[in-house]
A and B are shown apart, each in its own frame.
Chain A
Amino acid sequence: MAAKVKQLPSRGGTPAEKVYLIEIFKGMAITLKHFLRNLWDNSNLYVRHYPEVQPDIPARWRGRHRLLTHPDGTPKCVACFMCQTNCPADCIMIKAGTRIDGVTEKMPVSFTIDLAECIYCGYCVEACPEDAIRMDTGIYAFTSSNREEMKIGMTEMLSLKGGFPEEEYQKGLEGE
């Protein structure tokens, strides 16, 4: 297939444009118009006043991880290592142990994610056969002044709650 060529008329050739000065004043008039409008009423600026106004996070947003629990409070995770194997950033560290609450055979003894290394790809969530790990907390900002604090452990992840109602989250999954 031949490439489509679109001919654009070349501009700037008329005598009035060659003088430049007229066009310069026109350009300045445009910026002055914007300046006066926004000076008069700056309510429709294109930026968010970030720390004061927080953004709206959609349900599909991949934020901080959390581990889900059964209704009785025991972790859903069965320590199958799917997420750890899948993780492209190699930042999940699971130690498996015998299950003590009798739900299945295995459970994690410790489950650590190094958030400094995580690339928030969401593969761990997709890989999990038990729907035990999700990234739906809606937390998008995480800062720390040292690397050790960026590693979050099992207790912390179990204690986090989902940021969205269940239906909304499921609807988000359907879109994928």
Chain B
Amino acid sequence: MILTLTILLAVIIAIAWAAFNAAYLVLAERRGAGIIQRRPGPNINGPFGLLQPPLDGIKLMAKQLIIPDGADKFMYISAPVLVMCPAIMSFVALPYSDWLQAQNIDVGLLMVFAFASMGTMGIVFAGWSSRNKYSLMAAMRSVSQAVAYEIPMIITALTITLMAGTTNLDAIVAQQSENFFHWNIFPLFGETHNILMPFSFLIFFICSMAETNRAPFDLGEAEGELVAGFHIEYGSMGFGLFFMGEYANIVIGATLATIFFLGGWSCPFGLFPGVWWFLIKMYAIIFTIIWIRWTFPRTTIYGLLNLSWKILIPASLVNLLLTAGLMKVF
């Protein structure tokens, strides 16, 4: 009974954490974009516009959910849920510090990736069921993009697994916990002295951006060509869920990058280890992801696929082989 209650509480906290991040990252992104473009951004509601996300939420919920004629109703309604739910599920397995984790799962890494790839299914559902040619095109693009970028991402995760010898996210962090130089991103003092690890981090970072459909890889919702892409027919909270799902996925991507490469909650100098170090690293990565969106225009679909198949997949494979070889040598 107690166990069930704790799990329930953990799940509720995970949901709240995901929703809170989704809401306030949107605000941060809008205000930051404004500041970069020399305008203030949403600053009217509350101090610094801090009340904007709840008000946006209320507005979206108060709107009518319109289902287009000829849409496949069941798929149409289930699509936003399919985007949001797996994202929240992944949060359950993510460790934020040695005590702050909903469930310590031995196959945590596998579980997170399994749920992350389910998000694409939601996008395909949305694109297919809306009965709109734009959304269908966007869905097809999303699939090719997800297929292309999941491979290098998982190969990179495999490299990490190889070095750590476990898929338990807790254990992966524990291994890098000594100090700064034992983080996986630094090649010299780590497990394998693999000189390519910084590039591995870069590959992982790019892939997590492409996986979450972020600019400059947001071809699934390219406004210029596809109006709004896969969520073109969605209004009200259906649209809101897609939005929250995207931001929840960003948080997951940043969390994974922190766990795999930046030593999780361990401190660079061995001082005050704790959850705050994790949050600092995670938000630094999230800031970089948002910052990239402020900076670069969208790529083309060919450029996107070429980048993955011609550069990222070979590079990540080379890195995997090198790591395996070095593991054997040292």
Contacts and interface: CB of A to CB of B under 8 A. Distances in A.
Main secondary structure of the interface of B (DSSP, over half): helix
Nearest to B311: A20
A35 B296 contact: no
B30 to A, nearest CB: 14
A49 to B, nearest CB: 7
A52 to B, nearest CB: 10
A39 B35 CA distance: 7
Interface residues of A, number: 16
Interface string A84-118: 00000000000000000000000000000000000
B7 to A, nearest CB: 41
B32 A47 contact: no
Contacts of B292: 28
A47 B294 contact: no
Contacts, number: 36
A85 to B, nearest CB: 45
A45 B38 contact: yes
A112 B269 CA distance: 78
Given A24-B296, A31-B294, A31-B295, A47 B36 contact: no
B294 A49 contact: no
A35 B35 CA distance: 6
Interface residues of B, number: 11
Contacts of B291: 28, 31-32, 35
20 contacts: A24-B296, A27-B296, A28-B291, A30-B295, A31-B36, A31-B291, A31-B295, A32-B291, A34-B35, A35-B32, A35-B36, A35-B294, A38-B35, A38-B36, A38-B38, A46-B38, A46-B39, A47-B38, A47-B40, A49-B40
Interface of A: 24, 27-28, 30-32, 34-35, 38-39, 42, 44-47, 49
